[in-house]
Every structure is written in C-alpha cells, then in structure tokens.
A and B are shown apart, each in its own frame.
Chain A
Amino acid sequence: MNTETLNALKQVNLQIQQLQGVLENGTLTPPLTPQEADAIGQAIDDLSALQDTLIHQTLQAMVDQVNATNSQLQTLLATMQTTSARLGKLATGIRQVSDVVGALAQITTHAMSVGLIG
C-alpha cells in the first residue's frame, strides 16, 4: 500500500528524535545558545507538521483501501432490496387473489340465498 509514505514518516520521526536529543543533551560544549535552541525547536515544530501530513495521507490511503469495494457492495444491496420488495409483492399478490376469490364466494353465497342464482 503506502509504503513510501510510511518510510518517509519513519525518517521524519527519526529526525525529530535526533533534534530532541540535541535539545535534551546538557553536556554539549559549548552549550546551545537560546537562538540555536529556538531554531531547533522551530525545526521540530516544522517536522511535526510534516509528520501530521504524512499520517493524514497514510490514513487516507487506508480508508481508500478499506472502502474499495463499497460501490459494488452498494449495487448488490440495491438489487437485494428490489428482490425483497418483489417477494413481498408476490406474497401480497397471492393474498389478493385469495381475497378476491373469497369475496366472490361471499357474493355468490348471498346471491344463492336470495334466489338470484341456482
């Protein structure tokens, strides 16, 4: 997947650690001037910003990978929903046929009982 981005992230991370090591090192001779320390701090801040961009890119690549099949899945789901609706209509259709026959039977019963048929 995003091997290059991850490698870049590792490199940036390593550079941040090295600069932090310089800032934390109290045995430097001569010691860092305040201006030098600020410059290193600024470099760390810039590298951290770059690191966050690389993390965002890594996560985005992962999102794209995880969701690669989504459009095909959505098409399948739409077909399944249509089929389910059709099956529901089929059951309703069978019910309607039986209801119609039942209603006709009632009408016939009534017609026979009052002498209209028979």
Chain B
Amino acid sequence: MLPFIRSGLWCLSLCLVLSGCAVLTDSQVKNINAFATTTKAYSAFPSAVVKQYADLHRRVELLDATGQPDTALVFSQLERARATYNSNIDMAGKFDLSLQLLQQYGSLLAQLSSPDFVSDLSGPTTDLGGNLDHVIALYNKKVHPALPVSLGSDLSKLILLAGEKLTKRKQTKALKQFVLAADTLVQATAKNLADALDVGMQQLLSIDRDRWTRDARSMIASEMNGAPRGMTLRKYQGLQFYYDGVSDWQSAEDLRSQVMKAAASLAQAHAALVKAVREKKDLAGVIDETKQLITDVQPLGPILSKYIPLPKTFSL
C-alpha cells in the first residue's frame, strides 16, 4: 500500500507545482481590493449637481414671476416652475445609473478577490485528516508494514493546498480578465460623465447664474432706491438674499468640479490597476511571483520528506 500512497502523493504534489503561480500576485489582488473599496466609497454623485441645478433654476423662475405684470401670468409661471422642478429632479436620478454600475463592478471585483473562497476550504479538510488518522491507526494494528500515523492529516493538508491553489488560480485569472475587459468601459463612462458635466451642466449653470445675478441685483437696486437712508431690515434681507444666492451658485459650481474630479480619479485608479495587472511580467513581478510560489509550496517539503526520500540538494 505504501508505494501506491507514495505515487499518489507524488502526483498530487507535482500537480500543485505544475499548476504554476497565481496569475496575479497577492499584492495585485490587494490593489484590486483597494480599487473596489474606492469605488464603493464614491459619494460625489452627479445627481446631486442636477438636483442643485433644479433648485437654482426654480429660484430664477420665481424671480421671473415677480416681474410679471398680471396675476394670472404670475401663477402660470409659478405652476410651470413647479412642474419643471419636478421634471428636473426626476431626471437627476438617471445621472447616477452608470456610476451605480461601476460601484457594482467594484463590489464584484472585491467579491472575486476575496480570500473567502480559499479560507472556507480549511474546515472540512481538517476533519478529513482526523478521520483518516483514525483509520490508519486501526490499519496499523492489523497490517505490516505500518503506515505513518500522520498520513491522514498530511493528505488533508495536500487536499487543502491543491484546493487553495486551484481556486486561487481560477480566481486571479478571472480577475485579470475582467479588469482588462472593463477598462475601456470604465474610461468611456468616466469621460462621458466628465464631458456632460463639463459642457452641458456648466452651460446650464452659467446661463441661469448670469440671469439670476442680473435679476437679483436689479431687484435689490430697486429696493434701495425707494428705501429711506440708513440701515433697514428690508435692505438687510435683500442683501442676505443676494449673499446666500451667490454662495449657493458657487456651491453648485464646486460640486460640479468635485464630481468631475472624482470621475477622473476613478478612471485614473482603474488605469493604474490595469497597468499593474499588465506589467506583472517584469523582473520584479517574476521575482514576486516566484516568492509567492515558494511560499505556496513550502508546506509540501516536510510532508513529502516523510514518504519520499528527496535528493540532498532538493529543497522546497
């Protein structure tokens, strides 16, 4: 029976070594995880810019309504301001769809690079080791030559190693494939978002901001002209209204820039990830990969040496 076991162990060990290194090193998997976490934490959403624009545009329409000469026209303008505001708010949600998909992509990358697939294997294989050791103890009572008593747990370790290697290899291969395939889409999505916010939204905000500023100044000037000299509550309220308005327009502009920067950062982070995945075959990558392989197969040495006499120069 021992020669049969030796042959089996040799085959299993050979398969482990020949299955080669993982496609990605552990540090690359960590990079993927870091990108996924960054994507998940993306909070500057374009819908917030559109919602802010909707609110500011409503203010412009309310200012316009105050200038209407007829009450019916005032209420007509108010009603349309409300309808336009609701329509713009509805539209805002659609601006987040592509980023939500990128977030899902980040989550799936994190899921695929999770060590859970591998770590979940250790439980049952340990139980298996205990069971086999018991069988071997019984076998040794009746049959000679005896089998090593730790054969069961050793076999368990080898099954665990083989399972881990196979799973990790498939996991990293899939990750590399997806990261490379997704890059064009991530770059295009980020560019489309940046273009929309850079041209369309910038123009919409600019047109309304100019008009609001003109109307608000005209309104304040009209109040000032008819007001008594010195400080008055109405003057203060007018100036406060103008000050708050200017701050709000600036906030919208800042938010627009922030979302554009975040989209650009996301694209850059993914480009860096792709570069890391592609450049793994340089010397440093090969050394890292070799180190990883040595770490992976190191537990094989003590196990094999129990069953197979290794040459003195051979070490794992």
* Contact indicator B73/A41 (Cβ below 8 Å): yes
Query: Which residues does chain A contribute within 8 Å of B46, judged by CB atoms?
Result: 66
* Contact indicator B94/A13 (Cβ below 8 Å): no
Query: Which residues does chain B contribute within 8 Å of A62, judged by CB atoms?
Result: 95, 196, 200-201
Query: Which residues does chain A contribute within 8 Å of B108, judged by CB atoms?
Result: 77, 80-81, 84
B residues 100-139 in Cβ contact with A at 8 Å = 101-102, 104-105, 108-109, 111-112, 117-118, 120-121, 123-125, 127-128, 131-132, 134-135, 138-139
* Contact indicator A118/B138 (Cβ below 8 Å): yes
* Contact indicator B204/A58 (Cβ below 8 Å): yes
- CA A67 to CA B124, docked complex, whole Å: 46
A45: shortest Cβ distance to chain B, in Å?
5
* Contact indicator A84/B112 (Cβ below 8 Å): yes
* Contact indicator B95/A66 (Cβ below 8 Å): yes
- CA A62 to CA B185, docked complex, whole Å: 17
A5 and chain B: residue at smallest CB distance: B200
Query: Which residues does chain A contribute within 8 Å of B196, judged by CB atoms?
Result: 1, 62, 65-66
* Contact indicator A66/B98 (Cβ below 8 Å): yes
* Contact indicator A9/B117 (Cβ below 8 Å): no
* Contact indicator B127/A55 (Cβ below 8 Å): no
- CA A46 to CA B193, docked complex, whole Å: 32
Q: How large is the interface on A (under 10, 10 to 19, 20 to 34, 35 or more residues)?
A: 35 or more
Q: Which of B70, B95, B128 touches A101 (beta carbons < 8 Å)? A: B128
Take A80-B108, A95-B124 as given contacts and tell me if A69 and B192 are in contact as well, using a CB distance cutoff of 8 Å. Answer: yes
Take A41-B70, A73-B189, A98-B125 as given contacts and tell me if A80 and B120 are in contact as well, using a CB distance cutoff of 8 Å. Answer: no
* Contact indicator B192/A112 (Cβ below 8 Å): no
Query: Which residues does chain B contribute within 8 Å of A2, judged by CB atoms?
Result: 200
Query: Which residues does chain A contribute within 8 Å of B218, judged by CB atoms?
Result: 24
A113: shortest Cβ distance to chain B, in Å?
6
Q: Which of A40, A65, A97 touches B195 (beta carbons < 8 Å)? A: A65
A40: shortest Cβ distance to chain B, in Å?
8
* Contact indicator B207/A44 (Cβ below 8 Å): no
User: B9 at interface (Cβ–Cβ under 8 A)?
Assistant: no
User: A30 at interface (Cβ–Cβ under 8 A)?
Assistant: no
* Contact indicator A76/B181 (Cβ below 8 Å): yes
Take A2-B200, A87-B171, A94-B163 as given contacts and tell me if A65 and B94 are in contact as well, using a CB distance cutoff of 8 Å. Answer: no
The A-B contact count (CB < 8 A) is 206
* Contact indicator B159/A83 (Cβ below 8 Å): no
Query: Which residues does chain B contribute within 8 Å of A79, judged by CB atoms?
Result: 178
Query: Which residues does chain A contribute within 8 Å of B170, judged by CB atoms?
Result: 87, 90
User: A28 at interface (Cβ–Cβ under 8 A)?
Assistant: no
B61 and chain A: residue at smallest CB distance: A48
B47: shortest Cβ distance to chain A, in Å?
10
* Contact indicator A87/B97 (Cβ below 8 Å): no
- CA A9 to CA B70, docked complex, whole Å: 25
* Contact indicator A73/B98 (Cβ below 8 Å): yes
Query: Which residues does chain B contribute within 8 Å of A10, judged by CB atoms?
Result: 207
A76 and chain B: residue at smallest CB distance: B182
Contacts beyond the supplied A59-B88, A90-B167: 8 A-B pairs with Cβ under 8 Å: A24-B218, A37-B69, A45-B80, A58-B200, A66-B189, A73-B105, A94-B163, A106-B131
16 contacts between A and B (CB under 8 A): A6-B200, A37-B69, A37-B70, A52-B87, A55-B204, A62-B95, A68-B189, A69-B188, A70-B98, A77-B101, A77-B105, A80-B112, A90-B166, A102-B128, A112-B138, A113-B138
Binding site for B on A (CB under 8 A): 1-2, 6, 9-10, 13, 16-17, 20, 23-24, 34, 37-38, 40-42, 44-45, 48-49, 52, 55-56, 58-63, 65-70, 72-74, 76-77, 79-81, 83-84, 87-88, 90-91, 94-95, 97-99, 101-102, 105-106, 108-109, 112-113, 118
